[in-house]
Amino acid sequence: MFITIVWSLLAFIFLNCVPALAGWRPISYAAGSGGFTIYIDPATVARQQDLVKMLVLYDFRFVQAINGKSYLSSTWQQQFDCVEHRSRHLSYRYHSDNMGNGKVMLAGDDENNTWSPVTPKSAAGILWNIACSKDGPPI
């Protein structure tokens, strides 16, 4: 009985220490900035008529820096206008570790951020194609 309780406790501790990566789906790899992979979390996709919001993760192979702070990944809530071919970010977080883990080094909300045209073959263009596809984003 005691051993069962100990093993159950150890399993619980282990599972709570392992990052929850199950929701992230890899979308694209880019060579810029030393190499990074773009992921989306299908559970966060929200469509309102022609506008789509989703959480996007940029996971870098090498340490990046912003405002003198180092990070290995960033998460962004992005919004896409499927009719006007444009996008904007609504909030962001820069993380010290890969896959959105570790300490948040910098964060902010940009609900009033201006729209930018989507450039084909850019990260925003790839994400726009996924968000605005006729079948909808992968779930």
Find where tokens 């996924």 sit.
Answer: 130
Between CA 92 and CA 110 the distance in angstroms is: 8
Structural domain contains residue 112: yes
What does the pLDDT read at residue 139?
53
What does the pLDDT read at residue 134?
76
Structural domain contains residue 2: no
Q: pLDDT tens string for the chain (139 positions)? A: 444 333 333 333 333 333 445 599 999 988 776 889 999 999 999 999 999 999 999 999 999 999 999 999 999 999 999 999 999 999 999 999 999 999 999 999 988 889 999 998 899 999 999 999 877 665 5
Answering whether pTM is above 0.85, one says no
- Which CATH number characterizes residue 113's domain? 2.40.128.710
What does the pLDDT read at residue 22?
58
> Distance from CA of residue 125 to its chain's centroid?
15
C-alpha distances (whole Å) from 55 to each of 5, 7, 14, 67, 100 are 38, 36, 26, 23, 11
What does the pLDDT read at residue 8?
38
Structural domain contains residue 13: no
Structural domain contains residue 31: yes
Backbone angles phi, psi at 106, to 5 degrees: -160, 140
Residue type for 99, please?
M
What does the pLDDT read at residue 6?
33
Structural domain contains residue 10: no
What does the pLDDT read at residue 16?
38
Structural domain contains residue 12: no
Structural domain contains residue 8: no
Between CA 11 and CA 36 the distance in angstroms is: 32
Between CA 64 and CA 61 the distance in angstroms is: 9
